[in-house]
Amino acid sequence: MRSLGKLVVIGAVVCTGLPVNAQVCTPLRVVEGTGTQVQKKVSVPGTPTSRSNWNTDFAVPSGRSFSRYVATIRPANTGQYDVQMFLKYPNNTADKVFDQRASYRERNSYTIPGSPRLNANPYQINVFVGGVGAVGNTYTLSVAGCN
């Protein structure tokens, strides 16, 4: 019975450490696709006559505003990936909120946060995943808007 009492006390301490206002995130829909996530195999770099598949756009629902956006990448292959995230605005401007080349390990999830401009809401989130070192690798990508 003593160990049960300790368990209850430990549980109470752990629970009080949780945030009162946890963020609520809404998955964003893939533009030119179906659903809220996409799986891609990194193509060779684009040429003047052919495009790479390194860019993926996600639509922000009309009339919705979020305090931050979070992309999640889950590589199926370990490799060196170039990753960028842009918030695209209706006035034809975009903010680069993330730009990094990193070694990502297979089957691990990596999150990329980005915050919008004050008093402005993007209409799309663009995520660039590629790089010569990642050609042939597969990954799953999703983006969510959070408040």
How many of the other CB atoms lie within 10 Å of CB of 60?
22
Domain encompassing residue 106: 23-146
Q: Does 49 map to a domain?
A: yes
pTM as predicted = 0.80
Q: Does 8 map to a domain?
A: no
Name the one residue in this structure whose structure tokens are 């963020």: 23
Give, in order, the Cα–Cα distances in Å from 17 to each of 23, 26, 46, 92, 106.
Answer: 15, 24, 49, 43, 32
User: Domain tally for the chain?
Assistant: 1
Strands (E), 37-93: 37-41, 55-59, 68-75, 79-88
Rounded-to-integer distance, Cα 147 and Cα 107, Å: 27
Q: What is the CATH number of the domain that holds 83?
A: 2.60.120.1300
Q: Does 85 map to a domain?
A: yes
Q: Does 15 map to a domain?
A: no
CA dihedral 70, 59, 49, 96 (to 10 degrees): -40
Rounded to the nearest 5°, which phi and psi values hold at 116?
-75, 170
pLDDT in tens, the chain (147 residues): 555 444 444 444 444 454 556 789 999 999 988 999 999 999 887 655 556 688 999 999 999 999 999 999 999 999 999 999 999 999 999 999 999 999 999 999 999 999 999 999 999 999 999 988 899 999 999 999 999
Q: Report yes or no: 100 and 81 within 8 Å, Cβ to Cβ.
A: no
